[in-house]
Structure 1
């Protein structure tokens, strides 16, 4: 299941790299760190990427990991993501 989570996280930037823009990635990250979004809501949002019960469970556990973090940690994660979006390496995209 850990491999599935890693593959899911690897697939999203590749999806953005394909030229579709990175709005999807930003939306998923924002929903991931939003404490107002419950595990079932998160699973529903990512339904098109979930292909079975194991995937749904992995997505649920992934979201729960973020729900277990402090608000400060979630804020810092959001700041880190924004720094990466604004980096010179992402500028061409």
Structure 2
């Protein structure tokens, strides 16, 4: 039992640091798939990266495509991103 407790305590920090390695990427994905975040909020969050009207429109189109999806589809997409973040290919980052 003590060994199990030690293993859980050792694994906990590794679990807490799991992710893409890029907080900005995780925030962008999170805001994009969150149906509570409006198109304008998403555009404001990414205004440093989309400064032209064409890029702003592309962001609006992308966000609208996610808004058109069901909650189940958005949840599955979020789960898929977490699986990708924790894959062996992202482990180096």
Pairwise TM-score range, normalised by the shorter structure = 0.7 to 0.9
Deviations 1:12-56 (A, max 9, x none): xxxxxxxxx411100000000001100000000000001210110
The yes-or-no answer on 1:84 pairing with 2:84 is yes
SS at match of 1:48: coil
Larger Rg: 2
Q: TM-score, normalised by structure 1?
A: 0.77
> How many angstroms apart in 1 are the aligned matches of 2:62 and 2:30?
14
Query: Which residue of the partner structure matches residue 49 of structure 2?
Result: 49
Query: Which residue of the partner structure matches residue 33 of structure 1?
Result: 33
Displaced runs of 4 or more, over 2 A: none
Unaligned 5+ runs, structure 2: 1-20
Query: Which residue of the partner structure matches residue 67 of structure 2?
Result: 67
Query: Which residue of the partner structure matches residue 22 of structure 1?
Result: 22
Q: TM-score, normalised by structure 2?
A: 0.77
Shift of 1:70: 0.1
Shift of 1:61: 0.5
The structure where helix makes up a greater share of residues is: 1
Please, what is the CA RMSD of the aligned residues?
Answer: 0.6
Shift of 1:72: 0.3
> How many angstroms apart in 1 are the aligned matches of 2:58 and 2:90?
28
